[in-house]
Amino acid sequence: MKLGIVGLPNVGKSTLFNSLTKAGAESANYPFCTIDPNVGVVTVPDERLNVLGEMYHTKKIIPAAIEFVDIAGLVKGASKGEGLGNQFLANIREVDAIVHVVRCFEDSNIVHVDGSIDPMRDVETINLELIFSDIEVLDRRIAKTARSARNDKAAAKELKLLEKIKAYLEDGRLAKNFDDFEDEEEEELFQSFNLLTAKPVIFAANVTEDDLPNDGEDNEGVQTLRKYAEEEKCEVFVVCAQIEQEIAELEDDEKKMFLEDLGLKESGLEKLIRASYRLLGLISYLTAGEPEVRAWTITKGTKAPQAAGKIHTDFERGFIRAEVVAYDDLIACGSHNAAKEKGLIRLEGKDYVVQDGDIMLFRFNV
Ligand code: GDP
């Protein structure tokens, strides 16, 4: 799962990215790491793993993780190839969701590319670049489809859809809210276009410390942003990137104290990671044993064999059944054996839809 951090220059993207990756660096035992400085692996905080770790006297805990990509360099004119515009837009095409950082803080020492603080203008600048880029993609596809549309029914249908979406974007709307589909087939086609503005968006409103919501009301910029986000069905998340960076540098104990002083339960980053998970419709199932307790990321609705496939493709191919216990049931019983005696360990087949917090053990043929 990959999230791209976008926004105009000097809005706090790198500050946010650095604090995210620094916070994520604790998970040194995470199985994959990357040498690309613009990509950071961030673990998903999950208290359940520690509880299971104690129950199983586990040596190793491996949380779920998401990747964040710092996509710098998006400026006005990017879709026209300004700067390295097209390359940055191509990077966005590869992510599953977008974290759009919006500057809602005043600081005369830090130049704004457009000379003043105006969150809505900034959001529109970035959105327009994304929209232009999508229209270009649609135009290319329209040109290609139009050729075969005269004697090919499917192509004619696709052409109609492409033109409908293009008109929608030309109204300044984001493709993610387009819903004028005639059937499921059209919806699938739409997915295959992989439009930038079809991706889920979280706005990260970067405010000064004093404007963090626990200190009272949202500032004016955040309020307008919230209204817009509601219309476009995006989430807003208020953060002070500078504070996050300071928090990320602290040791665990210090971090707790620092947050308590600020009247917060968790850091903004933890909230952001959770919000991303929710936004993408992701859940975790767990595997637990002495060698390792681990969370595995799946989308809601995933069935047991495909969930098993996250561990190894052989698990999916040779899937026989799964032994499943819900996290709450296991904790209530106190041990795997006690849960078994109470009949709370279930055997589930290939049609079982895996739930968040299921502890799974797969049986499979090799
Ligand atoms: P980017 O160009 O969007 O990646 O922006 P940076 O993260 O490099 O930040 C630009 C400047 O703004 C840096 O000097 C940061 O220290 C500063 N900055 C970032 N977040 C905040 C914030 O929340 N408040 C203030 N006052 N400055 C910030």
- Using the atom order of ligand 1, give the atom closest to the CA of residue 243: 23
- Give the model's pLDDT for residue 33: 44
Phi-psi region of 95 (alpha: psi -120 to 50; beta: other; left: phi over 0): beta
Statement to judge: residues 75 and 206 lie in one domain: yes
Q: Pick 133 or 268 by higher pLDDT.
A: 133
Mutate to test the pocket of ligand 1, among 70, 99, 100, 110 (most ligand atoms within 8 A of CB): 110
CATH code of the domain covering residue 357: 3.10.20.30
Statement to judge: residues 258 and 191 lie in one domain: no
Statement to judge: residues 30 and 77 lie in one domain: yes
Mean pLDDT of the chain: 89
Statement to judge: residues 262 and 354 lie in one domain: no
CA of 57 to the centre of ligand 1 (A): 43
Spell out the residues 6+ positions from residue 266 whose beta carbon is closer than 8 angstroms to its own: 45, 259
Statement to judge: residues 138 and 207 lie in one domain: no
CA of 271 to the centre of ligand 1 (A): 20
Q: Which domain holds residue 158?
A: 129-197
Pick the last residue of a domain from 197, 215, 239: 197
- Using the atom order of ligand 1, give the atom closest to the CA of residue 11: 3
Statement to judge: residues 133 and 14 lie in one domain: no
Within 10 A of 100 (CB to CB), how many other CB atoms are there?
26
Statement to judge: residues 101 and 228 lie in one domain: yes
Asked if the structure places residue 322 within a domain, the reply is yes
- Give the model's pLDDT for residue 320: 97
pLDDT in tens, 298-351: 999 999 999 999 999 999 999 999 999 999 999 999 999 999 999 999 999 999
302/283 Cα distance (integer angstroms): 10
Strands 97-103 and 201-206: parallel
* Number of Cα atoms under 13 Å in the Cβ half of residue 236: 24
Pick the last residue of a domain from 279, 309, 338: 279
Statement to judge: residues 93 and 215 lie in one domain: yes
Statement to judge: residues 143 and 192 lie in one domain: yes
Instruction: Write down the ipTM of this complex.
Output: 0.95
pTM listed for this prediction: 0.84
Report the number of distinct structural domains present in the chain.
3
Asked whether the predicted pLDDT for residue 53 surpasses 90, the reply is yes
Asked if the structure places residue 123 within a domain, the reply is no
CA of 207 to the centre of ligand 1 (A): 10
Statement to judge: residues 193 and 203 lie in one domain: no
CATH code of the domain covering residue 102: 3.40.50.300
pLDDT in tens, 54-79: 999 998 999 998 888 988 878 788 77
Pick the last residue of a domain from 146, 173, 197: 197
Asked if the structure places residue 286 within a domain, the reply is no
User: What is the pLDDT averaged over residues 211-237?
Assistant: 84
pLDDT in tens, 86-120: 778 888 999 989 999 999 998 888 888 787 889 99
User: What is the pLDDT averaged over residues 220-228?
Assistant: 92
Asked whether the predicted pLDDT for residue 9 surpasses 70, the reply is yes
Q: Which residue has the tokens 């905080």?
A: 45
Statement to judge: residues 83 and 204 lie in one domain: yes
Statement to judge: residues 107 and 216 lie in one domain: yes
Asked if the structure places residue 21 within a domain, the reply is yes
